[in-house]
Structure 1
Amino acid sequence: MKIIMQLFWIILFSLLGEIVSVAIASFVAIPGSVIGMVLLFLALHFNVLKLSQVDEVGSWLTDNMAILFVPAGVGLMTNFDVLAESWLQLIVIMFVTTILMMIFVGKIVQAIMNKDQKSEKDGE
């Protein structure tokens, strides 16, 4: 029964995310699964829901996450003809965005580290 209740909470927040996504679709397009995860995070953060209420099922889902990517991989293979026409553009986009993300994350980490070092010096 415990596992069923944990799965219920995760599915409930996924459903709430889909409902919110449909409600705000005319303003902005955000996937319901993303909204559901944000709502679940907020519920956990503000102690509306306890971690123990979703821990086992959440751990199982993240441990077996690879199986959730199978439908996306199959979708890519069924549309391979479309991807084959623009493979060069896709590779360039992947390299450019990867480099930009590495630079962005590096700058953020440096800023945080500098802020921590500065606060340590001020605390002395």
Structure 2
Amino acid sequence: MIHALCLLIAFQLLGEASVRLTGWPMPGALVGMLWLLAWLAWRRRVPEALATTASTLLQHMMLLFIPTVTGVMVHFGRVADEWKPFLIACVVGAAVTMAVTALTLHWLLARGRRAGPAA
């Protein structure tokens, strides 16, 4: 598990460094996830330790959102002043997430039907 956590932190660091060096207007953590995705696609498999660690982190994801929610509450006055863009970003973000998830599921199901039943 330690090895997998170090790997995740290393990719986040790589993403942060990429953003700093290029000046991209994106979160470093997101760029790090894209680097991780590229690395996993190149390997064509997910290491067992990484799969186990990621599964554990996903099971406790709500705990990981506590600092974010706390940060929003600290700046509640700003959110109250700028509630329209905040609401639009939340609604559009949720809609895009649902659409991408639905399209991905549709694509995977169609791909599974073409491949036929697994023996």
For normalisation by structure 2, the TM-score amounts to 0.69
Alignment counterpart, residue 20 of structure 2, candidates 10, 19, 22: 22
Q: Distance in 2 between matches of 1:95 and 1:33?
A: 19
Q: What pairs with 1:9-48 in structure 2 (closer than 5 Å)?
A: 9-25=7-23, 28-47=24-43
CA contact (8 A) 2:79 2:86 kept: no
The corresponding residue for 1:105 is: 99
Identity of aligned residues (%): 25
- Cα 1:48–1:9 shift into 2, 3 Å: farther
Gaps of 5+ in 1: none
Equivalent pairs counted in the alignment come to 106
CA contact (8 A) 2:16 2:32 kept: yes
Describe the SS at the equivalent of 1:30: coil
- RMSD of equivalent CA atoms: 3.2
Report whether the alignment pairs 1:66 with 2:65: no
Gaps of 5+ in 2: 115-119
Give 1:47 shift: 0.4
- Cα 1:101–1:38 shift into 2, 3 Å: closer
Q: Distance in 1 between matches of 2:94 and 2:32?
A: 30
Letter in 1 for 2:36: L
Give 1:92 shift: 5.8
The corresponding residue for 2:79 is: 83
Asked which structure has the greater CA Rg, the reply is 1
Letter in 1 for 2:25: A
Give 1:69 shift: 1.0
Letter in 2 for 1:105: A
